[in-house]
Chains A and B, each alone.
Chain A
C-alpha cells in the first residue's frame, strides 16, 4: 500500500435516486468528474450523445466508409485494370459494378470500424472502474467514486452517500501500479488460432497433374497394351485363317506383333519407336545376330537384354522358341526390299 494508491467507493442506491444532484455534491467535495461513474442495469437516459471524448463515433463511421469506398474501387476497378481480361464484350472497368462493390465495402468498413471504435471506447471507459456490484442487476443503481486513499475525500464521499440514503458502500483498493493484462491478447490469439490453422492446412490439390493420355515426354510403351492384340498364350484365340495359321506357327506372326515396333518390319532395328529410345534396337540381320544360336536368342527374348524387356510371361515358351527360330531365318537385307508374306 503506497501513498499514491486509490480507493474505489461503490455505493448502492435505490432507483429513485436523484443522480445528478448526488454527482454534483460529490464534485463539490473536490472529486473530478471522470472519477465518478454511475452504474445501472439499463441506460438511465435516452440520450446517446457522442461527447465521449476524442473523436466522435460518427466521424469514425464516415471516415471508415470513405476508406471502404476506396477498397471497393480497388477491387472492382483496380484489379481489373491490373490484369485486364476481356469478358463478354463488357468494358474492363464499368461504373455500375464498381458502384455495387464499393457500396458493400463502404458498409462493411463503416460498420466494422464503428464497432471496433466502440469496443476500444468501452474498454477504456470501464478500465477506470474497478468492480461492479452485481446487485444493480436486481434493480439498483451504483455510484462508483475513485478517491486517493490519503486525504479527506474518502470520508467526505462516504458522508455524502449516506446522506443520500445509500444502502451499502463497498470499498476496494486500487494499487497504483497495475499489471498490464496480456490476458486479452492471449485470449484473442486462442480464439483466432483454429482459423489460422485451417487456412494453413487447406490442402494443395494436384488436379489433372497426372493425365491418362499418353504424353510426349513419357517413355514409349515396350509392350502392346493389354487386350489390344490377341495372344495365344493369354488364352485369347484369334480367328485364324489358313494363311495366318501358318504364319503364326512359323513365328512370323509373333514377330510382327511383339518385335516389329522396335526392331522394324525387316528386323533392321528401325521400328517406329526406335528414334525415341536411348539405345538403338539391335539390327537382327547383322552378322553379330546371325552368329547367335536359337538358344541364345531364346534366352535374350526370355530374360531381356539392356533396354529390351523380358518376354517371359508375355509369351509362352513355345512362342518364344518359334520367334527365336524366325529371327535366325531372317533374310539378309538386299538392295530390293524383300517383303514376306502378309507384310504390309
Chain B
C-alpha cells in the first residue's frame, strides 16, 4: 500500500503526570459537541452527560490522603465490546479506527452502554433543552441528539472530517497536528495528545512507545486506542 493510501488509525495519549484535573477538557467537549445541559436534578441522579470525565479516587487515610485522577473517555477500542451487541448497527468501527455512533440509527436498546467496561457511553434520557439564546452557541457541525439515543466521544470526528477534506483538496495526507479535538485543544498542560498511530513519526506514536505507557483495563482485550502514561509523582 502506498503512503498516500495507507489508512489512518486515530489514537490518543494521555499523560497522567501532566494532568492537573482542571476539567478544561470536559468544558471544551461540552461546547464543541453540543452536549446537553443536565442540570442539578439530573446530575444528582447520576445522569450528568460527560463524554470525557475526570475520575477521581482517594487513596490513603487521613492525614496521608492523596487524590488520583485520570481523564476517562471513549477508548475507541479495536475490539470494542460495545459494537457487536448493537442490534441495528448503530455502533460500528470505521476503517480509520474510530468507534462510530450513528445517531439516526440508534433505537435506544442500551446494550452498548452496559457492555462498555469504561462506562464511556451516555444516553439521552430526555430531549435536550437550552434556554434561548444559549442554543445560538451550538456547533452546527455536530448533530444535536434527541431523547432515546446513545452518544459518546467521537474523537471530534467533525474536526477529523474537516482536516481530511482539507488535506484531500490539497492533495496530501493529514499532517500531524492538523486534527486537534476540543479536549486536546483546551488542555492547558498539553496532557492530551492526538494523532495518527499509523504514522510512526507522529507525536502520538512516539509518546505511546514510552515506558510509562499502559492502557486501561488492558486484560479485557478491548485493544483501546488511548495510551495512558503513568504518573510519576
Which residues on A are within 8 Å of B, measured CB to CB? 85-90, 207-208, 211-216, 221, 225-228
Contact = CB atoms under 8 A, between A and B. Distances in A.
A214 B140 contact: yes
A89 B78 contact: yes
A207 B140 contact: no
27 contacts: A85-B93, A86-B93, A87-B80, A87-B91, A87-B92, A87-B93, A88-B80, A88-B84, A88-B85, A89-B80, A89-B223, A90-B84, A208-B104, A208-B143, A208-B146, A211-B143, A212-B130, A212-B135, A212-B138, A213-B34, A213-B142, A214-B136, A221-B136, A225-B133, A226-B132, A227-B132, A228-B136
B140 A88 contact: no
B149 to A, nearest CB: 8
A228 B92 CA distance: 41
Contacts of A86: 83, 92-93, 95
A286 B80 CA distance: 64
A227 B85 CA distance: 46
A226 B133 contact: yes
B21 interface: no
A93 to B, nearest CB: 13
A90 B78 CA distance: 10
Given A208-B143, A225-B132, A226-B132, A88 B138 contact: no
Given A87-B89, A89-B80, A228 B140 contact: no
Contacts of A89: 78-80, 93, 223
A213 B89 contact: no
B57 to A, nearest CB: 29
A85 B142 contact: no
Given A88-B80, A89-B223, A208-B104, A213 B140 contact: yes
Contacts of B86: 87
B144 A212 contact: yes
Interface of B: 34, 78-86, 89, 91-93, 95, 103-104, 128, 130, 132-133, 135-136, 138-140, 142-146, 223
Contacts of B81: 88
Nearest to A90: B84
Nearest to B139: A213
Contacts of B78: 89
Given A86-B93, A87-B84, A214-B135, 4 more contacts: A85-B93, A86-B95, A89-B78, A208-B103
A215 B143 CA distance: 10
B13 to A, nearest CB: 22
B138 A213 contact: yes
Rank and list the top 7 A-B pairs by shortest CB-CB distance, nearest first.
Answer: A213-B138, A225-B133, A89-B79, A87-B83, A88-B84, A88-B83, A212-B135
A86 B94 CA distance: 7
Looking at A90, A213, A227, which has the most chain B CB atoms within 10 Å of its CB?
A213
A227 B131 CA distance: 11
A228 B93 contact: no
Contact of A213 (B82, B91, B135): B135
Contacts of A211: 138, 140, 143-144
A182 to B, nearest CB: 41
Looking at A87, A214, A225, A226, which has the most chain B CB atoms within 10 Å of its CB?
A87
A303 B104 CA distance: 44
Looking at B85, B93, B143, which has the most chain A CB atoms within 10 Å of its CB?
B93
A86 B82 CA distance: 12
A221 B34 CA distance: 20
Contact of B133 (A213, A215, A227): A227
A211 to B, nearest CB: 5
Nearest to A87: B83
Nearest to B145: A208
Contact of B138 (A208, A214, A227): A214
A256 B91 CA distance: 48
A228 B133 contact: yes
B91 A207 contact: no
A282 B74 CA distance: 51
A82 B93 CA distance: 17
B92 A208 contact: no
A85 B89 CA distance: 8
A88 B84 CA distance: 5
A226 B133 CA distance: 7
A215 B142 CA distance: 10
B15 to A, nearest CB: 27
Contacts of A221: 136
Contacts of A213: 34, 135, 138-140, 142, 144
Nearest to A217: B140
Nearest to A221: B136
A215 B128 CA distance: 17
A212 B145 CA distance: 10
Contacts of B128: 212
Contacts of B146: 207-208
Nearest to B82: A88
Nearest to A228: B133
A225 B80 contact: no
Contacts of A215: 140
Nearest to B80: A88
A208 B128 CA distance: 11
Contacts of B132: 225-227
Contacts of B80: 87-89
